[in-house]
Each structure stands twice: as C-alpha cells, then as structure tokens.
Amino acid sequence: MAIETVPEWMAGLEDEDVAFIKKFLLASGSLKEVAGLYGVTYPTVRLRLDRLIQKIHLSEDTAADPYVALVKRLAVADKLDFDTAKLLIQSYKKTKGEDA
C-alpha cells in the first residue's frame, strides 16, 4: 500500500476548502453549477474561488517573510482589509531597508 502525501499547497487548506475544490472539479469547473449546489449566487462562488486561489498562492510562497505571510493570510481571511495589509507590508519592508 502506498503512503499518500498531501501536496504542500493543500496542507494549509481547511476541510471546507477541499470540499469546495472537490465540488468544483466534479462540476467540471462550472461556477454556475457549484452556485446551485451551495444555493448561492454566481458572484458569491466566484469570490470564494478567488479567495481560495489567493490562499494557494500564499502557501506556494515558501520563501516569504513570516510577517508578510501573516499579513497576507489575514487579508485573505477578511480579518484585515487589503489596503491596510498593503500599507503594513510596505512600512515593514521600509524598516528592513527593502524596496516595497
């Protein structure tokens, strides 16, 4: 029996995210069909997919500074608005002497 490993990009996803991905795949990528399955509007499913894409992009950036990664995760999770997150990252990079 082969030991299954979870790809690194999936390791940080919640069970709900994985269930969404499964439904999306089984619906052949039809956001309209996924919206029907969840009983929500197309724009709601599109927003959820966009946020999931952002989560995956963040998880793939393994070389990211832990502070920057945290700020980005908070923004993706709607705990922090994107403009504030951008300002925090720019200010942080300035204090480290990096280009923002």
Q: What is the pLDDT along the chain (100 residues), one digit of tens a residue?
A: 555 676 777 777 889 999 999 999 999 999 999 999 999 999 999 999 998 988 887 766 555 678 887 888 788 778 888 888 888 988 988 888 876 5
- Position 9 scores a pLDDT of 73
The helix (run of H) or strand (run of E) holding residue 8 is helix 8-11
Domain ranges within the chain, ordered by starting residue: 14-60, 63-100
Predicted structure pTM score:
0.63
pLDDT in tens, 22-50: 999 999 999 999 999 999 999 999 999 99
Calpha distance 28→31 (Å, rounded): 9
C-alpha torsion angle, residues 70, 74, 75, 76 (rounded to 10): 100
- Position 45 scores a pLDDT of 97
Structure tokens at 82: 């994107």
